Amino acid sequence: MSDISVRIKVASAADADTVYAMLCERDNRTHDRSAVLNYLADLDPGRVCVWLAERGGECLGINAIYLRSLRTADGPLAAGYWAHLYVRPEARKLMIYPRFVLDMMRWSRDAGLRLVYTGSRQQHVAAAHLRLGFHSLATFPVLLQPLRPATLVASRKAAAYPFAVAAARACDDLFRGVCRMLPRITAGQAPAGPIAATAVAPATVAAFCDPDATKIRTDWTEESWRQRFSATIEGDPYTCFVVPSAERPEAGVMMRVAERGTPPVRVGVLMDIFDRTPDRRHLRPLLRRVAQAADAAGCAGVIAVDQIPHDIATAIRSAGYWKTSERYAIVAKATGSESLPPQLADASAWQFNFGEHDAF
């Protein structure tokens, strides 16, 4: 039942402390304040809109949308990427979630956005979005390269975690030792790096922004790309490895380190990858550098999206990534009364990766 005493408002700079506290609560982490606000574009209304649900001076929930331009065959399309939805458990019977959605869709329409879309690995959340009129674009698996497989298993046994972690560490040390003795078959050029995304050359930014001009994806400019990948919500950098050529980068990969679950497990996240060579010969060296960087950061594995697009995903799977039971759902809704245009409703027309959505 909706509570009329709950007020939904657009957050301003004066609400920065509340926004920060809500996202720390959502993630069950104490993030750096400046990193959180940077991740939310410092509440710049030209880049993001954030809503807060309040009752009696207490904040009960948060919601946000990032303003983006999608590149399509018919030209740029103004869109919003929906993110950071969180309602406190004790307030989830107050109908705040649907009110957030209604306000967000109304605001998006008035702001000239044609489409709102989002990605989630929580299938019950994606299903709830569908009940509110969103359209399912795609559901596909998450890929995993295990680096410390016993730690991954032990992380699911929270009750026995203190005992499990010690046993897992011993098993993982053995696993990593065996892996180091296996022959490494690679081709292509060893990539340069690591390089923070904010420090890569303009030609590299251009290569990441336009790996496949035939697909629908965010129409990044150099400025918006550098803003987007300036730092994670935890304040850590997005890291790039690049294979240079005489005129422009031939291949590159971007990754980050994240924590998932309770107790938290560190994972490497393959955000974006491209290889312009006909035989994709640089993919294995790039993926090898990602695994090395993730291993050095103490990660239990590296995750990637199964469609990056398909031919690159196939190469990733052949490099030791497994298809997991975890699913990644993309949903979208037109802001007007019309349905999604056929082109936008076709999952094969899109290019998906964690760099587009950062939802894991």
Q: Give the pLDDT confidence of 335-354 residue by residue, as tens digits.
A: 987 778 788 888 888 888 88
Q: How far apart are CA 269 and CA 80, in angstroms?
A: 23
pLDDT digits (tens, 9 = 90+) for 186-195: 566 677 778 9
DSSP state of 216: B
DSSP state of 350: B
> Which of 78, 89, 77, 81 is CA-nearest to residue 64?
81
pLDDT digits (tens, 9 = 90+) for 264-281: 888 999 999 999 888 888
Q: Give how far Cα 291 sits from Cα of 180, 191, 269, Å.
A: 12, 13, 10
Name the token pair of 231.
């730092």
Give the per-residue pLDDT at 166. 57
User: Among 90-94, 106-110, 119-123, 237-241, whose mean pLDDT is lowest?
Assistant: 119-123
Q: How far apart are CA 156 and CA 230, in angstroms?
A: 32
Q: Answer yes or no: is pLDDT of 77 > 70.
A: yes
Strands (E), the chain: 7-10, 48-55, 58-72, 75-87, 115-120, 135-146, 192-196, 217-218, 239-243, 251-260, 265-275, 301-305, 322-334
Helix, strand, or coil here: 189? coil
pLDDT band (50, 70, 90) for residue 167: low
Burial profile 333-350: b = 16 or more Cβ within 10 angstroms, e = fewer: bbbeeeebeeebeeeebb
> Please, what CATH class does the domain formed by 142-328 belong to?
alpha beta
What are the boundaries of each domain within the chain? 7-113, 142-328
In this prediction, residues 71-81 reach a mean pLDDT of 90
- What is the identity of the amino acid at 156? R
pLDDT digits (tens, 9 = 90+) for 240-252: 999 987 667 899 9
pLDDT band (50, 70, 90) for residue 138: confident
Q: One fold for both 7-113 and 142-328?
A: yes
User: Among 164-168, 201-205, 317-321, whose mean pLDDT is lowest?
Assistant: 164-168
- For residues 210 and 289, which has the higher predicted lDDT (pLDDT)? 289
Q: Answer yes or no: is pLDDT of 332 > 90.
A: yes
Give the per-residue pLDDT at 351. 82
pLDDT band (50, 70, 90) for residue 212: low
> Which of 198, 121, 129 is CA-nearest to residue 352?
121
> Which of 221, 297, 211, 290 is CA-nearest to residue 254?
290
CATH topology for the 7-113 domain: Aminopeptidase (3.40.630)
Q: Give how far Cα 71 sits from Cα of 201, 213, 250, 340, Å.
A: 23, 8, 22, 16
Share of the chain above pLDDT 90, in %: 51
Question: How far, rounded to the nearest angstrom, does the alpha carbon of residue 132 sit from its chain's CA centroid?
Answer: 23
In this prediction, residues 174-179 reach a mean pLDDT of 52
Cis peptide upstream of residue 309 (ω within 30 degrees of 0): yes
Residue 357 phi, psi dihedral angles, 5° rounding:
-125, -25
Q: Answer yes or no: is pLDDT of 311 > 50.
A: yes
Name the token pair of 111.
């702001």
Give the per-residue pLDDT at 159. 47
pLDDT band (50, 70, 90) for residue 318: confident
In this prediction, residues 120-129 reach a mean pLDDT of 89
pLDDT band (50, 70, 90) for residue 157: low
Q: How far apart are CA 187 and CA 67, in angstroms?
A: 40
Give the per-residue pLDDT at 276. 87
Give the per-residue pLDDT at 343. 80
Name the token pair of 226.
């550098």
Give the per-residue pLDDT at 75. 86
User: Among 148-152, 192-196, 355-359, whose mean pLDDT is lowest?
Assistant: 148-152
Q: How far apart are CA 59 and CA 52, in angstroms?
A: 7
DSSP state of 40: T
Q: How far apart are CA 243 and CA 250, in angstroms?
A: 6
Give the per-residue pLDDT at 63. 97
Question: How far, rounded to the nearest angstrom, does the alpha carbon of residue 329 sit from its chain's CA centroid?
Answer: 12
Arithmetic mean of pLDDT over the chain: 86
Q: Answer yes or no: is pLDDT of 101 > 90.
A: yes
Q: Answer yes or no: is pLDDT of 233 > 80.
A: yes
Q: Are strands 265-275 and 301-305 parallel, antiparallel or unpaired?
A: parallel
Q: Answer yes or no: is pLDDT of 103 > 70.
A: yes
Give the per-residue pLDDT at 239. 95
